[in-house]
Amino acid sequence: MQAPLASPNIKSIELPATVESARQAYAILAQRLGAERLEKKFSGTVVDMNHAMPRNVIVTLATLYHEANRHHLDESFLTEVRRASSFFSDRYRELTERYLALMIASQEFPNIIETLPEHRVLGDSNPDWTLRTKQNDEFYLEVSAISIKKLKDDLDAFGGRIPTSKVIGSNQEPLYFEVVFSDDPRKYDPAAIGAAIIKNVKTQQLPVAFTHDGAQILVDLLSTRHKLPQLISEELNENGFLKSTRLMGNRLAYTLATQMSFKSIGRKIDEKKRSNKLDMIGNAWLCIFIPANELGTFAKDGMVISQLLARISRSKWLKGLFVAELLGDTTGNLQLRYIRI
């Protein structure tokens, strides 16, 4: 019998985020970027280093500035910071992820001597990082992320296409339903799930729970759900799903739910391979960021880890993979955590 696969070790890079370190970092950044410009990038948020959010933003920015400086990229980094409209924009988030990935690469490959951001390698293909070592080796690092926002957008996109008027018309009393997806919500057909709900409403006694195309569905009377302590079913509320609930007055309510699917990492690999021609470039590493507090669960998912290891061993272009998260809390701690596959 094959021995179970050991979970990869989670490594951590500490980013001290005390009030004092944040104030010192703010002073340095204000000098380099200008105090007024720096404050504007908080988009109206009170810039008080006694509060965790602005403190973590500043400490992360300062840490990445020092990392850029180590690679002689400090001016390039500051230029990109200036171009970001705020510290909460997608552009700034992507910048942060690129330099956090560079920190991981620097930790794992201490023999790097030259770092080129978005260096043109093949035609119009320019990986996030081209890295050269003391041994004159050259390899590439591409960075991506799986975000909670993307998952919520997927749920909202599905919800916008449910035939709600037909569901409302299928019963004299207002209904409530839940749909729990086992995979990417965009892979499911809203019309087909709507039809399955209507069929069960007309043929079964409510509440009714059933499966359609892999999705778990519960349908109940809205009045019954309102009599309970919570609208969402107890099982769904306890399982840590990402949920999107919509209330349509007193006519209908529904909840769509999904879990962070680690299969998404495989899709990210395919996406980056196509968009950056990585299979033609070769010798590439990927760093994929996942939502905070998910890395421990991912590292224990032996099936997905095995699939990724097998994929890397077969690949002629993918040399390895980092899966990472940035954790912050209210006690002054920031951690960049990652595993290497």
Q: What is the pLDDT of residues 103-129, one digit of tens each?
A: 999 999 999 999 999 888 777 768 899
Average pLDDT, the chain: 90
Single out the residue of 336, 260, 249 nearest to residue 301, CA to CA: 260
Higher-confidence residue of 266 and 310: namely 310
Cβ-contact 129, 114 below 8 angstroms: no
Of 2-6, 84-88, 337-341, the range with the lowest mean pLDDT is: 2-6
Single out the residue of 340, 334, 248, 240 nearest to residue 287, CA to CA: 340
Most confident by average pLDDT, 83-92, 148-157, 191-200: 191-200
* Sheet (strand 175-181) strand order: 208-212, 215-221, 175-181, 252-258, 242-248
Asked whether the predicted pLDDT for residue 1 surpasses 60, the reply is no
Beta strands in the chain, from DSSP E residues, in sequence order = 11-16, 112-117, 129-133, 138-145, 175-181, 208-212, 215-221, 242-248, 252-258, 284-289, 318-328, 333-340
| Domain extents in the chain | 11-146+262-340, 149-258
Please give the backbone phi and psi of residue 221, each rounded to the nearest 5 degrees, phi first: -75, 140
Cα within 13 Å of Cα(158), Cβ side: 30
DSSP string, 286-325: EEEE--TT-HHHHHT-HHHHHHHHHHHHH-SSEEEEEEEE
Cβ-contact 334, 56 below 8 angstroms: yes
Torsion sign across C-alpha atoms 68, 331, 40, 85: positive
CA gap 62, 22 in Å, rounded: 9
pLDDT at 242: 83
User: Who's near 2: CB < 8 A, 6+ residues apart?
Assistant: none
pLDDT at 262: 65
User: Who's near 225: CB < 8 A, 6+ residues apart?
Assistant: 176, 231, 253
Asked whether the predicted pLDDT for residue 302 surpasses 70, the reply is yes
DSSP string, 233-245: -HHHHHTT-EEEE
User: Who's near 285: CB < 8 A, 6+ residues apart?
Assistant: 105, 139, 140, 141, 142, 318, 319, 320, 321, 322
Asked whether the predicted pLDDT for residue 26 surpasses 80, the reply is yes
Q: How far is CA 329 from CA 51, 146, 257, 271, in A?
A: 11, 21, 26, 32
Neighbouring C-beta atoms of residue 15, cutoff 10 Å: 21
Residue percentage of the chain with pLDDT more than 90: 66
Cα within 13 Å of Cα(79), Cβ side: 5
Q: Region 268-275: what's the mean pLDDT?
A: 89
CA 254 to chain centre: 25
Q: Which residue type occupies 340?
A: R
Is the bond leading into 207 cis (omega within 30 degrees of zero)?
Answer: yes
Q: How confident is the model at residue 259 (pLDDT cuts 50, 70, 90)?
A: confident
Long-range CB contacts (within 8 A, 24+) of 34-40: 37/82, 40/86
Q: Which residue type occupies 85?
A: S
Q: How confident is the model at residue 266 (pLDDT cuts 50, 70, 90)?
A: confident
Hey, which residues does 65 pair with through a beta bridge? none
Pairing of strands 138-145, 284-289: parallel
Q: Region 313-322: what's the mean pLDDT?
A: 96
pLDDT at 2: 47
CA gap 16, 208 in Å, rounded: 52
Asked whether the predicted pLDDT for residue 85 surpasses 70, the reply is yes
Q: Region 38-52: what's the mean pLDDT?
A: 89
Q: How confident is the model at residue 260 (pLDDT cuts 50, 70, 90)?
A: low
Q: How confident is the model at residue 6 (pLDDT cuts 50, 70, 90)?
A: low
